[in-house]
Amino acid sequence: MRGRLLLMKAYVIKRMAVVLSATAGLSLVAFAAAGTFAWTRGWALLTLNLALLALGFVLMSHFNPGLLEARSAKHAGVKPFDRVISGIYSALVFAVPVVAGLDAVRFRWSALPVGSLYAGIALYLLGGALISGAVVSNPWLETQVRIQEDRGHRVAAGGPYRFVRHPMYAGIVAQYLGIPSVLGSAWACVPAFLIVALLVVRTVLEERTLRAELPGYEEYTQRTRYRLAPLVW
């Protein structure tokens, strides 16, 4: 038991290190693009991000501790299309703060009203709520698309999965729709919208995989009819 706890602690530390390193990298490129650390909206986004990350780790540790290990490890059977999508996604994720820093602070190509900050925060928190619900409800919420036969993969149908089939993606979409407003950059909408489009593509391709290879998923789609947004799609 003690060995298992130590191993789990090691996975928690590893996952936290990876996530915090990525967050630090994104923040540094944002402030570097802005040319200053005196960027209130940049600090606002970083604060929101860290708060939701902390919440996610607490929820995962309490409700789905095995998921920390699964999201930290490398797995066989990842679908080839997802390796390509993951690479593009990573590049676009870094493009958003770079464009925002250049636009909103350094060159001021565009200007968004003060009220946009609060609208962006609301969308970001909505996305965080959806992601938190997915983390609590889905023990098979790994970072890449594969059928997790080694982990007894089954259909997750509780929590937010009763309303949309991909609440994690829906949450990320909401956050990236809100980030340009939080950072005060209209031009940041360009890479942000590309991320949204990429997630739509990933959703379609993942759905094909799940329908074809995961027992019970086809029946689940008849109960939960919408992929990302109720009454929309």
Question: In 3D, which of 141, 138, 189, 181 has the Cα closest to residue 161?
Answer: 138
Scan for tokens 């889905």, then name that residue: 138
What 3-state DSSP class applies to 61? Answer: helix
Cβ atoms 18, 71 nearer than 8 A = no
- How far, in Å, CA of 80 to CA of 156, rounded? 23
* Those residues with Cβ within 8 angstroms of residue 135's Cβ, 6 or more apart along the chain or in another chain: 56, 59, 60, 63, 64, 67, 141, 168
- The pLDDT assigned to 9 comes to 61
pTM for this structure?
A: 0.92
Provide the sign of the torsion angle of the four alpha carbons 155, 157, 160, 163, taken in this order: positive
Q: What is the pLDDT of residue 52?
A: 93
Tokens of 96: 């958003």
- Report the CATH number of the 2-223 domain: 1.20.120.1630
pLDDT tens-place values along the chain, 233 residues long: 454 444 456 666 777 777 888 888 999 999 999 999 999 999 999 999 999 998 988 898 888 888 888 887 788 899 999 999 999 999 999 999 999 999 999 999 998 988 999 999 999 999 999 999 999 999 999 999 999 999 999 999 999 999 999 999 999 999 999 999 999 999 999 999 999 999 999 999 999 999 999 999 999 999 999 999 998 99
CA angle 157, 161, 165 (to 5 degrees): 105
Number of Cβ within 10 Å of residue 72's Cβ equals 19
Instruction: Give the pLDDT confidence score for residue 60 in this predicted structure.
Output: 86
The ranges assigned to domains in the chain are 2-223
- Model pLDDT, residue 7: 47
DSSP string, 177-227: HHHHHHHT-STTHHHHHHHHHHHHHHHHHHHHHHHHHSTTHHHHHHHS--S
- Distance CA(169)–CA(117), nearest Å, equals 22
